[in-house]
Amino acid sequence: MTADPPASILDAPVVDQLDDTGSRATSQDPTGPERRHGLAERLAAGLGWFSLALGVPQLVAPGRVNRLVGVEDTPRNRAIMRGVGLRELGGGAGVLTKPRPGAFLAARVAGDAVDLALLGAAARSGRGDPGRARTAALAVAGVTLLDAVAARANSRTADPTTPRGAVRARSRITVNRSPDEAYGYWRDMRNLPRFMTHLEEVEVIGGGLSRWVAAAPVGRTVAWRAELVEDEPGRRLSWRSLDGSEVPNRGSVDFTPAPGGRGTEVTVDLVFEPPAGAVGAAVARLFGEDPAQQVKDDLRRFKQVLEAGGVVRSDGTPEGTRTGRLLRQRPARPTGATGEAT
């Protein structure tokens, strides 16, 4: 194909690389945004573990911690220190377990401000050890700076919405089929709506062109035409929308033999501009339609189709695997049940 890509997010030159999970990543500078994202994640993880390590002694030995930081050891101050310890444990757990820890890191900054106020009051009171309290306040100020840097970096890099409103979603899954089988099913793009629930129809026009119709938030639909850019049988497919599309986008899927002959690793990388740009992406997530989660769910359904011959459906998930709906289900209560589970 020699047609020029649309003048949008697709203009940028693309350099392929692998991210920390082995998924294919694309970037204008493989040592730029991707590297910064990795550094931000590592800083957040370090601060999360620091919170846990600090919170445990604050909770179980508040008197010792009070004396260590120069605070007068009274029953009231022990209760305050235990509360600070609980906050540290909760914040650390949130930072380490949430895929987007920016909010928890921002909460740590607010907590640091409270700690600085408490230490400042202790230093001015003349009770306890004012010198130790001032030293502890300096240490907390340093941690506050790190928390602020990490909160800003992770709020920016964890959200797949870019400043121009483009959304990137990547995921990978291992399918117990050969690369040729997985490629062959995906290559017939009329099959895509069978496992991509947001797609209503893909019409193959011919000559590498196709027309896509997808569901959008609040009951809308959007349509666009796409062209195949790469077609390597058994290895890789990539496509991009044509100029003037309602949803400018590009995507690729790679089929790689899994280690140990366990089938095929299928890696999907999508970039698109949702209707209304970044605002549209945020609204979609409010309705439980996070693009990153959509791609993961689509790949799980793709695996089911190839391995089991169809998507596994139930009362709770009539469209097949959809994590958002699974999380809202109640145990032992089928859809429509009004009484308590028995």
In a domain? residue 171: yes
In a domain? residue 274: yes
Q: Is the domain of 133 the same as that of 179?
A: no
Whether residue 33 contacts residue 269, with contact meaning beta carbons closer than 8 Å, is answered with no
In a domain? residue 298: yes
In a domain? residue 190: yes
Distance CA 119, CA 69 (A): 8
Q: Is the domain of 70 the same as that of 133?
A: yes
Q: Is the domain of 302 the same as that of 167?
A: yes
What's residue 174's pLDDT? 96
What's residue 220's pLDDT? 77
In a domain? residue 5: no
In a domain? residue 235: yes
In which residue ranges of the chain is pLDDT below 50? Answer: 1-31, 157-163, 314-330, 332, 337-342
What's residue 25's pLDDT? 38
Establish how many alpha carbons lie within 13 A of residue 282's alpha carbon, considering only the half-sphere containing its beta carbon: 7
Residue 220's CATH number: 3.30.530.20
Last residue of a domain, one of 131, 157, 183: 157
Helix, strand and coil content of the chain, in percent to the nearest 5, comes to 50, 20, 30
Q: Is the domain of 79 the same as that of 103?
A: yes
pLDDT tens figures, 25-59: 333 344 455 566 668 778 888 998 999 999 999 99
CA end-to-end distance (rounded Å), the chain: 60
Whether residue 194 contacts residue 326, with contact meaning beta carbons closer than 8 Å, is answered with no
Q: Is the domain of 102 the same as that of 65?
A: yes
Q: Is the domain of 206 the same as that of 85?
A: no
Q: Is the domain of 83 the same as that of 169?
A: no
Q: Is the domain of 125 the same as that of 205?
A: no
Q: Is the domain of 134 the same as that of 196?
A: no
Whether residue 147 contacts residue 109, with contact meaning beta carbons closer than 8 Å, is answered with yes
What's residue 109's pLDDT? 86
295 Rama sector, left if φ>0, alpha if ψ -120 to 50, beta otherwise = alpha
What's residue 108's pLDDT? 87
Q: Is the domain of 178 the same as that of 305?
A: yes
Q: Is the domain of 218 the same as that of 73?
A: no
Q: Which residues pair with 213 in a beta bridge?
A: 201, 223
0.75 surpassed by pTM: no
pLDDT tens figures, 190-237: 999 999 988 999 999 989 999 999 887 667 788 899 999 999 999 999
In a domain? residue 60: yes
Domain count, the chain: 2
Q: Is the domain of 148 the same as that of 237?
A: no
What's residue 172's pLDDT? 92
In a domain? residue 286: yes
What's residue 264's pLDDT? 96
Domain that holds residue 226: 163-328
Last residue of a domain, one of 139, 157, 175: 157
Last residue of a domain, one of 129, 157, 185: 157
